[in-house]
Amino acid sequence: MLTCTILICLNDASVIAALHTQGRKVVCYVSVGSWEDWRPDADRFPTSVIGEDYEGWPGENWLDIRQIELLAPVMRARLDLCRVKGFDGIEPDNIDGYTNDTGFPLTYEDQIRYNLWLADEAHARGLSIGLKNDPSQVADLLPYFDWALTEDCFVEAWCEEMLPFIQMGKPVLAAEYTDTGVTIRELCQEAERLNVSLILKDRELGAWQQHCPWRGVTHLWGIVLRTRVQRRLTTRWSRPGQLRRIGSKKGSRSWPGGSSRRR
């Protein structure tokens, strides 16, 4: 139902509790803008909200986020499970469907309405919520989102669009991927200038990673421990240089002329 596939979440609440004793935060991945046919709750989605195929990700389709009343029971159940298992926040994926070919005439305003609803639902459960990608809506969503997560913003040259978060004292986490040809050496100086916490990963989210040697700055990837599902696998980040693989999922945002997703 959420990030760590039910298998991980339901069986490993004790792991989350143990990580809390180490001073770590645990963030729950939830795809809020797409339907995935392998999820245990896939049959709870009305067919009327399931749209076009998500290009590049078999078994996944866009959702009609205008129909909040139909999506709400599923999304609320997912957020409830995040809370019950002890997560500290949520990483909502695919919250920029309005920029993609979803099969629905989604507008900027439709997306704002849905994203604000998600923020309200997360906060009502005591969960923080991050703005994942979606730089065009930063100005409208900044007051309601607690942190931001970017993918490929350095390669695509849009990191500065997330700086309002930094200016408001809210962290920005940046994930860059090796398949773009970038190296950590060429990224770190700019990341430090922007005060963005950066990590370099393989797109398949294996154990390998590199991060910048921050001087006098807490490395935020060591604070926010993210739980993601890569199809039926989950990856957990802990401290810099230390990653425990329990499963995994994909990466998101639009390539020029492509679909919005890197995960």
Residue 112 within a domain: yes
Q: How many domains, in total, are found in the chain?
A: 1
> What does the pLDDT profile of the chain (263 residues) look like in tens digits?
333 333 334 447 888 888 888 888 888 999 999 999 999 999 999 999 999 999 988 999 999 999 999 999 999 999 999 999 999 999 999 999 999 999 999 999 999 999 999 999 999 999 999 999 999 999 999 999 999 999 999 999 999 999 999 999 999 999 999 999 999 988 999 999 999 999 999 988 787 889 887 543 444 554 444 444 333 333 333 223 222 222 233 444 333 233 344 45
**Considering the entire predicted model, what is its pTM?**
0.80
Domain region containing 220:
5-247
**How many C-beta neighbours within 10 Å does residue 17 have?**
12
171 occurs within a structural domain:
yes
Does some domain include residue 255?
A: no
Instruction: Decide if 249 contacts 228 (C-beta within 8 A).
Output: yes
Q: Is residue 221 part of a domain?
A: yes
Domain membership of residue 186 (yes or no) is yes
Domain at 36, CATH number: 3.20.20.70
In a domain, 258, yes or no: no
Q: How far is CA 75 from the centre of its chain?
A: 15
Q: How far apart are CA 235 and CA 4, in angstroms?
A: 8
- If DSSP codes are grouped into helix, strand and coil, which group holds residue 44? helix
Residue 256 lies in a domain: no
Residue 236 falls within a domain, yes or no?
yes
